[in-house]
Amino acid sequence: MRWKLLRRRLATPRVTVRRHLPWPIRWLSGALVLGFSAAIALWAFETGKDLAGLDRSAKAELARLRDEQAGLKEERDKAQALANTADSLLKTEKAAEDRLAAQLRQSEADKLALKADLGFFQQLIPQGGGTPEGLAVRGFQVEVAAPGHVRYQLLVVQGGRNAVQFNGRYELTLSGTLNGQPWTSPPAASNPALQVKQYARVEGMLDCPPQAVVKSAQVKVTDAGGAVRALQTLKL
């Protein structure tokens, strides 16, 4: 009998009654505990800083560093402004210097051109001090600028007090050798027009074979009817 009672007790499972809480309440309770702990830790940290004076020192140091930064920025802005001003002055001075150099070069070129014109016109002054009646060619000059290119210039003058304007043409002919044989430049299809009241300066470029050796040049001025009014030959 006792054995049966003991075996029944051992076979019967034990039941424990516990109070059950929903999981949101458990999570909320845990969060509140963690938040409270964090708040206490933060309060302890801030209180420790105040007691040690670290917070006040850090704020003072931060304020000092900000003041130094503002001063350095102001100095940098002033230095940058001075550098910009100096750079602008240098650029202005360089531009003025370049303009003066260009004007000087132009003045030198004008001076050389005037000197060349003066020498050219001095050659045109008649030895007798006057200009004869009719047309005349003065200062006839020819030079080989490059193989196949001949530069020429001349002055056509018309003497007489009551001379009327001359309308005609001029023709330039080159002579020399080409490949060892006598050579003369062919006549142009159309000779350039020429108008002369008192004087007219003529200059230009004439093409020829690059192998040609130019030894002489002749300029001929003709009127509207084809009659020769002035002629001059130049030996090179």
Per-residue pLDDT tens over the stretch 78-108: 888 888 887 788 888 888 888 888 888 888 8
pLDDT of residue 173: 92
Report the distance separating Cα 194 and Cα 166, nearest Å: 8
Model's pTM, two decimal places?
0.47
pLDDT of residue 201: 86
- CATH class of this structure's domain 134-235: mainly beta
Nearby residues of 159 by Cβ (< 8 Å), 6 or more positions away: 130, 131, 132, 133, 134, 136
pLDDT of residue 170: 92
Report the distance separating Cα 170 and Cα 165, nearest Å: 15
pLDDT of residue 123: 57
Spell out, as residue ranges, where the chain has pLDDT lower than 50.
17, 128-129
Report the distance separating Cα 41 and Cα 18, nearest Å: 34
Report the distance separating Cα 69 and Cα 81, nearest Å: 18
pLDDT of residue 88: 82
Three-state DSSP at 234 gives: strand
pLDDT of residue 217: 92
pLDDT of residue 151: 92
Report the distance separating Cα 24 and Cα 26, nearest Å: 5
pLDDT of residue 191: 87
**Residue where the block lists tokens 């509140």:** 32
